[in-house]
Homo-oligomer: A and B are copies of this chain.
Amino acid sequence: MEYAPIDHLDLRRFVREVFEWTGIPAADAALASEVLAYSDEHGIDSHGVARLDTYFDLIQQGKINKNPTIRILREKASVATIDGDNGLGLVVGPKCNEIAMEKASEYGSGWVSVCHTNHYGAAGYYPVQALRRDLIGLSMTNTTKGVVPFNGREKMLGTNPVAVAFPAATQKPLIIDMASSTVAYGKVEIADRQGKSVPYGWCIDAQGQATVNPLEMIQGGSLLPLGSDEAGSGHKGYCLATMVDVLSAVLSGANWGPFAVPFAIKSGTSDTKQVGKGIGHFFGAWDISGFQDLEFFKRSVDEWIRVMRSTPPLPGATEVLVPGDPEHRAYGIRIREGIPLDRKVLDSLRRISTVSGIGMPVYH
């Protein structure tokens, strides 16, 4: 892969201007650019501007409502279901997360299940917002099918991620952001581009046979749930994907399981049957002060982090990290040195720049 480090602030500017150019209102375009920037700045390359061209195409083809009326369908104190009106997931997501956080501030916790939406970026962006208000944040989303149920041969569930964040006092916050499959689709794609094999347990081919050849997964195969197989407790990844699918999509009235609407136009179609509206998200927040003295909690998280880091590493490993370390490290480097984008992503941005007339983001 070739990398060209791009200035992170100018990348935000580019994304914001692109969304504005497509007709997304200015405030919403700024919000969407912030969500994508979170991924690029924190090293989650698969969920940032690498996906801008897909959002761009969906908007240009009228598949996304640029001026959604986000509407509460049902509500009871700390919980609500919201219809995203087919708005951009990068806008519907933050607005619904905001409602969950407001409920948490009022009722001690807040929970919002969302239907009629689409891809909302990195799951981790949302709980991180909750930290500013001294809340514990949580987000989940169902996604287009790509993963088999445990013991199954056909894709029936998405990579359905779960993200949670906990604030600390002097340490950086704990950030958990994980797909419920063994790996994300993007990791298999990267191996294929590099001509490498993948570890046993990541995927199966179209006939349901375990394969280490990434191309056999890409051509009609499927990803395996976290745990992979019987020996690895693959039923547990399936259980996590189930929880995410039910809370995000069954509960909100979105399309669940194999019916989840595909994100990219070119990535094929889901089963033609639709059982709800769009895909689904689930946002939550807990008010720490409703449970515990806030400062005591944060100092305890500091101590928790120090204790975990002090674990002697496995032979061959250099250190024991805590959840969020990879993101915090990537952030430190990328803010200083720019965002590395590979040629394919740069080419997709150039196409958008050419179509829209918006100047390419500058190199760092």
Residues of A with Cβ closer than 8 Å to B?
74-81, 106-109, 111, 113, 136, 148-154, 156, 164, 166, 174, 176, 178, 182-183, 199-202, 204, 207-209, 226-228, 231-233, 235-240, 242-243, 245-247, 250-253, 256-258, 275, 286-292, 296-297, 300-301, 303-304, 307-308, 311-315, 317, 319-323
Expressed in whole angstroms, the Cα–Cα distance for A287 and B80 within the complex equals 10
Interchain CB contact under 8 A, B253 and A290: no
Interchain CB contact under 8 A, B238 and A227: no
Which listed residue (B164, B290, B311) contacts A154, Cβ 8 A?
B311
Interchain CB contact under 8 A, B156 and A307: yes
CB closest residue in chain B, given A309: B149
Interchain CB contact under 8 A, B256 and A150: no
Interchain CB contact under 8 A, A297 and B76: no
Interchain CB contact under 8 A, A320 and B149: yes
Interchain CB contact under 8 A, B314 and A239: no
Expressed in whole angstroms, the Cα–Cα distance for A257 and B302 within the complex equals 13
Subset of 15 A-B contacts with CB under 8 Å:
A75-B108, A76-B290, A79-B291, A149-B322, A150-B320, A151-B319, A151-B321, A153-B313, A164-B243, A178-B236, A182-B233, A242-B322, A245-B304, A250-B297, A252-B291
A-B pairs, 6 with minimum CB distance: A76-B290, A199-B231, A79-B108, A152-B311, A76-B108, A79-B290
Interchain CB contact under 8 A, A243 and B176: yes
Interchain CB contact under 8 A, A151 and B257: no
Expressed in whole angstroms, the Cα–Cα distance for A95 and B267 within the complex equals 50
Provide the residues of chain B in CB contact with A320, threshold 8 Å: 149-152
Question: Known contacts A246-B301, A250-B297: does B76 contact A312 (CB below 8 Å)?
Answer: no
For the complex formed, measure the closest distance between the CB of A80 and the CB atoms of chain B, giving whole angstroms.
7
Provide the residues of chain B in CB contact with A113, threshold 8 Å: 291-292
Which listed residue (B78, B81, B199, B239) contacts A292, Cβ 8 A?
B81
Which listed residue (B154, B176, B251, B312) contacts A291, Cβ 8 A?
B251
Interchain CB contact under 8 A, A314 and B153: yes
Interchain CB contact under 8 A, B106 and A109: no
Expressed in whole angstroms, the Cα–Cα distance for A254 and B353 within the complex equals 55
For the complex formed, measure the closest distance between the CB of A311 and the CB atoms of chain B, giving whole angstroms.
4
Which of A200, A227, A233, A303 has the largest number of chain B CB atoms within 10 A? A233
Provide the residues of chain B in CB contact with A200, threshold 8 Å: 231
Interchain CB contact under 8 A, B323 and A239: yes
Provide the residues of chain B in CB contact with A307, threshold 8 Å: 156, 257-258
Interchain CB contact under 8 A, B304 and A246: yes
